Amino acid sequence: MDEFELIRRIAPRSLSHREIEIGIGDDAAVYNPKKGYQEIVCVDTMVDGVHFLSSHSTPADIGYKALAVNISDIAAMGGYPKFYLVSIAVPSGRRESDIEAMYEEMTKLAKLYQMDLIGGDTVSTRGQMVITVTVIGEVEKGRACLRSHARPGDVVFVTGELGSSAAGLSLLLGDRFTNDEGLVQHFMKRHKRPEPRVKAGLICSRYQRVALNDISDGLASELNEIAEASRVSIDIYQDSIPTHSELHKLHSDWEEWVLFGGEDFELAGTISSDQWERFAQECSSCGVPVYKIGQVVQSGEAKVFYHSGQDRILLEKKGYNHFKQDR
């Protein structure tokens, strides 16, 4: 694989944002930040065998998810994604067409948000493939949706069905718990091609004091992070959490997937109770799903409780941890 030829092929022929002074082709990109806005920067690294299995996913699927998870982080701040950078460590012997397919799929996803590729790096490795994506976005000054914004009395909400990505991963790894091909494809798509909730995040940024997290490591983990940052306790209810209608019938682990499975990349957040109805109506009118799943109950101890029937269960901050390898 010729690195410089690859750069020539992936370099965009045109740019969506006039703020860019210098894009790909120099030592670094140069752009002008927009007045009245704050910049948001996030980065995620995906390693073959840890975050994806190249033996079970197409190069296009891998490229899509590598960018999508970063766009989701921008959405969780109430921002809009604008630029991205991609660095790939490529194992020797990997086909050039595979790398091009990854970039092509990232380009397709980026076009949905008018994002510009402005840089990155390509190197060889003797180990597994590693993809690192950086996304730069913007949010109106003072409107970022921070984890520290939750207050007692707030409504706790999520933007879509949970547990389906973990179900898709289980299927991917050979647990054939359903023979319904439609369900198999649905769950696998939820795992391989999550939809970043950018529109939902933008709506959240228009309201005062919304706390947000994207559900990458599991609902329990994300809500515990909000509870810790805001120093509050949260109650959520099993029968209010949105899931696929068939999920609970298919596998005994469905509840574990919903609470701790992760990689759903929906948004979990809190909003003032007196703004909830207007917020829910605005989301509905924009085609954005949103579900009330609980409330912030008190300040002080940072805890999350799960109500299942008559039981009130303390939810530990447990989810996917890259170092503990524990769910």
The answer to whether residues 182 and 77 belong to one domain is no
Domain check: are 251 and 274 in the same one? yes
- The DSSP string of 177-209 is ----HHHHHHHHHHHHS----HHHHHHHHTSTT
Ligand-binding site membership of 18 (annotated): no
CA distance 215 to 225: 11
More confident residue, 295 or 16: 295
Q: Are residues 166 and 216 in the same domain?
A: yes
Residue where a domain stops, chosen among 82, 111, 140:
140
Q: Do 38 and 161 fall into the same domain?
A: no
Provide the domain count of the chain: 2
Q: Which two tokens stand for residue 322?
A: 């890259």
E strand or H helix that includes residue 276: helix 273-285
**How confident is the model at residue 2, as a pLDDT?**
63
Which CATH number goes with the domain that contains 43? 3.30.1330.10
What domain range includes position 53?
A: 3-140
Question: pLDDT per residue over 263-293, tens digit each?
Answer: 999 999 999 999 999 999 999 999 999 999 9
**Same domain, residue pair 306 and 162:** yes
**134 and 231 co-located in one domain:** no
Residue 47 lies in a domain: yes
* Residue 274, annotated as binding a ligand: no
Nearest CA among 260, 279, 261 for reference residue 270: 279
205 labelled ligand-binding = no
Are 14 and 152 in a shared domain?
no
CB-hemisphere CA count at 13 Å for 93? 3
pLDDT band at 86 (very low <50, low <70, confident <90, very high): very high
179, part of any domain: yes
Domain final residue, candidates 94, 114, 140 = 140
Least confident of 3-7, 125-129, 149-153, 269-273: 3-7
Annotated binding residue 284: no
322 domain-assigned: no
Residues 217-263 pLDDT 10s: 999 999 999 999 999 999 999 999 999 999 999 999 999 999 999 99
Q: Which residues contact 153 (CB under 8 A, 6 or more apart)?
A: 272, 273, 295, 296
First to last CA, the chain: 38
Task: Tell whether residue 214 is among the known ligand binding residues.
Answer: yes
Report if residue 327 sits inside a domain: no
In this prediction, residue 1 has a pLDDT band, given cuts at 50, 70 and 90, of low
Q: What is the mean pLDDT of residues 6-34?
A: 80
154-194 pLDDT tens trace: 999 999 999 999 999 999 999 999 999 999 999 999 999 99
240/193 same-domain check: yes
Does 127 fall in a domain?
yes
Q: Are residues 25 and 152 in the same domain?
A: no
51 is in an annotated binding site: yes
Q: H or E stretch including 233?
A: strand 232-237
**Whole-model pTM?**
0.92
Predicted confidence at residue 278, as pLDDT, reads 98
26 is in an annotated binding site: no
Question: Per the annotation, does 320 bind a ligand?
Answer: yes
What is the DSSP code (8-state) at residue 309? T
Is 209 labelled as part of a ligand binding site? no
Tell me the average pLDDT across 124-145: 96
Phi, psi of 260 (to 5 degrees): -125, -5
Contact 236, 305 (CB under 8 A): yes
Per-residue pLDDT band for 105 (boundaries 50, 70, 90) equals very high
End position of a domain, from candidates 82, 109, 140: 140
Chain mean pLDDT for the chain: 93
Tell me: is residue 120 an annotated ligand-binding position: yes
Question: What CATH number has the domain bearing residue 232?
Answer: 3.90.650.10
Percent of the chain with pLDDT over 70: 94
Q: Is residue 235 annotated as involved in ligand binding?
A: no
Same domain, 307 and 242: yes
For residue 325, tell me if it sits in a domain.
no
